[in-house]
Amino acid sequence: MPIINLPNVRLHVQELNPEGQETIIMVHGMFSNLAVYYFNIAPLLAKHFRVVLFDMKGHGMSEKVPTGYDLTSMTNDLRDLMDALGIGQAHLAGYSYGGLVALKMATRFPDRVGKLAIIEGPDPSEQETLTIIDTYSREFLIHYIENFADTTRLLAGKRQLEKNHRMYEFLFNETSIRSDMEAEKAFFNDPAVAAIAHETLLIYGEESNCVPSGRTLASRIPNATLVLAPGDHNIPVQQPEVIGKELEKFLEAASLPVG
């Protein structure tokens, strides 16, 4: 599996259809990894585009580092990754906290970003954001126990539970992830967000607690379209085809020559 050495961190990267003319880079959310895109959404987009997926630092198979989970550090990583892969400009899609990384890229490095797709990006000023993520993680674990922890195979089930538990323990107790996220509270009020000129697609789940965040972004980013799809915050897992098709439609329009 390709691990790319960047100046500050080693990241696990997967590419689909490397010959594609235009590139889309997809950024996953907190406590997740690139697998959220790998099986359904990425192969669909790879029919038309070069698709680059990567695990954020501290996640998936990327290097575990104690600091640098704020949006500035995360976008430094992404810029370094683009440099390392020789990508001048790419469309960006980001899910949850990855959506905030994509937005931050558009504010810091506008020339490096084509179109911008934000899936379920939460407003970090909402006190509940961290709570939502916490609850989500707990629900995820409970879901996991109910569905996969077959009582006759407790040993095997234990391995996954312990692996997940280790990841939360690491990120919450051994890294700056909590304070880094809390320090981003004012991000949606940053004038740079309202100045994003990129064509922007906002996809939120109808049932998601994050819909108000989507409306906030839709009202601030001049060139943004909000799409509500059936599902909640977990929509890329619940409705990968819907997300894939929305992204395909949004990006295809970009690549069609005008006139």
Partner 1 sequence: MDQLIQDYKLGKEEIFETLNQFITEVIGEEFVEEMDITPASSFTKDLEMDSIEIVAFSEKVKNHFGSNIDFTGWLSNMDLDEIIQLKLENIINYIQECQ
Residues that bind partner 1 (CB under 8 A): 1, 14, 16, 33-36, 38-40, 43-44, 55, 60-61, 147-148, 150, 153, 155-157, 159-160, 163, 237, 240
**Who contacts 89 (Cβ-Cβ below 8 Å, separation ≥6)?**
23, 111, 112, 113, 114
Q: Which is nearer to partner 1, 110 or 157 (CB)?
A: 157
Q: Which DSSP string corresponds to 220-254?
A: HSTTEEEEEESS-TTHHHH-HHHHHHHHHHHHHHH
Least distance in angstroms from the C-beta of 94 to partner 1:
18
| Inter-residue contact 48 to 20 (CB < 8 Å) | yes
| Inter-residue contact 226 to 236 (CB < 8 Å) | no
**Who contacts 23 (Cβ-Cβ below 8 Å, separation ≥6)?**
49, 50, 51, 52, 87, 89, 90, 91
Q: Which is nearer to partner 1, 154 or 197 (CB)?
A: 154
Least distance in angstroms from the C-beta of 236 to partner 1:
11
Q: Which is nearer to partner 1, 81 or 103 (CB)?
A: 81
Least distance in angstroms from the C-beta of 147 to partner 1:
8
Least distance in angstroms from the C-beta of 142 to partner 1:
16
Least distance in angstroms from the C-beta of 148 to partner 1:
6
Q: Which is nearer to partner 1, 160 or 255 (CB)?
A: 160
Alpha-carbon gap, residue 121 to 119, rounded angstroms: 6
Least distance in angstroms from the C-beta of 212 to partner 1:
28
Cα(first)–Cα(last) distance of the chain, in Å? 42
Sheet hosting strand 113-119, strand order edge to edge? 3-5, 10-16, 50-54, 23-27, 90-95, 113-119, 200-205, 224-229
Q: For 4, phi and psi rounded to 5 degrees?
A: -105, 130
Q: Which is nearer to partner 1, 56 or 202 (CB)?
A: 56
Q: Which is nearer to partner 1, 31 or 188 (CB)?
A: 31
